[in-house]
């Protein structure tokens, strides 16, 4: 009996190891990758979305844009082609939530600095105040790195429509004035297909951690 077990000992060990490997491979094959939702207008708080698109259930994407950054360069979607990016809306004279948001976006910048897949995009909601010179001064003070993070200004109507019709993230001020907005703390995560994949409170540390985790999940979704 002992000689029988001795004879098949090596075979048993090899069989056990192969079984473990096969089970591990099957587990990985069957395990689904965590996915982020694709956010469309009908799934967003209606106060943040222009009424003309609130019914839209799918195929929503960020519209083409043409704005100017802190260095005086024209910025379009081509600058974000095949990139994951985080967007927000701010203004340089804001004394409330903007300093916190900018600080937190700066922390994100540090962590994606060497990541060629991820960029940042901040839109001013007061372009009449935030000229290129003003944005440059602000960017210099806040440690903005131009290759990773664009602060953009431009036509107020275009910025308003981006906020309400593309990013679905900013409330109308309700006073009947054209293209006026209430500032928002939202950070938006946008994928390489220009679809919104998540919203995060840019003033809260735990939300920034979630954003960073979701960036990783989104990046992994592009890996075969």
Per-residue pLDDT, 34:
85
- The residue whose two tokens read 């029988």 is 4
Question: Measuring CA to CA, how many Å separate 223 from each of 5, 35, 44, 196, 220?
Answer: 46, 13, 28, 19, 5
Binding-site entries: 94, 98, 183
Per-residue pLDDT, 76:
98
Asked whether 69 and 150 are in contact (CB, 8 A), the reply is yes
Per-residue pLDDT, 56:
92
Q: Which helix (H) or strand (E) holds 196?
A: strand 196-201
Range list of H helices, 35-153: 98-112, 132-142
Positions of the chain with pLDDT under 50: 4-5, 24, 26-31
Distance CA 113, CA 119 (A): 9
Token pair listed for 161: 């429509």
Asked whether 112 and 145 are in contact (CB, 8 A), the reply is no
Asked whether 215 and 83 are in contact (CB, 8 A), the reply is no
Per-residue pLDDT, 28:
47
Which letter, b or e, does each residue of 133-162 get, where b requires 16 or more Cβ atoms within 10 Å of its Cβ? ebbbebbeebebeeebbbbbbbebebbbbb
Binding-site entries for Cu cation: 94, 98, 183
SS3 call for 110: helix
């Amino acid at each position: 009996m002992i000689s029988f077990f001795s004879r098949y000992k090596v075979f048993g060990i090899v069989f056990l190891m192969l079984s473990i490997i096969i089970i591990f491979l099957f587990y990985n094959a069957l395990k689904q990758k965590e996915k982020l939702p694709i956010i469309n207008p009908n799934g967003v708080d209606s106060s943040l979305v222009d009424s003309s698109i609130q019914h839209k259930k799918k195929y929503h994407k960020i519209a083409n844009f043409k704005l100017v950054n802190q260095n005086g360069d024209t910025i379009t979607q081509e600058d974000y082609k095949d990139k994951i990016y985080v967007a927000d809306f701010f203004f340089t004279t804001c004394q409330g939530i903007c300093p916190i948001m900018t600080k937190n976006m700066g922390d994100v910048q540090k962590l994606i600095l060497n990541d060629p897949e991820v960029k940042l995009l901040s839109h001013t909601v007061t372009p009449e105040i935030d000229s290129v010179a003003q944005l440059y001064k602000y960017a210099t003070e806040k440690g903005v790195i131009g290759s990773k993070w664009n602060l953009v200004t431009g036509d107020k109507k275009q910025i308003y429509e981006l906020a309400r019709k593309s990013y679905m993230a900013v409330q109308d001020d309700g006073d009947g004035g054209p293209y006026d907005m209430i500032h928002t703390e939202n950070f938006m995560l946008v994928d390489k297909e220009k679809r919104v994949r998540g919203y995060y409170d840019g003033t809260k540390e735990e939300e920034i951690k979630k954003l960073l985790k979701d960036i990783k999940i989104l990046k992994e979704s592009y890996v075969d």
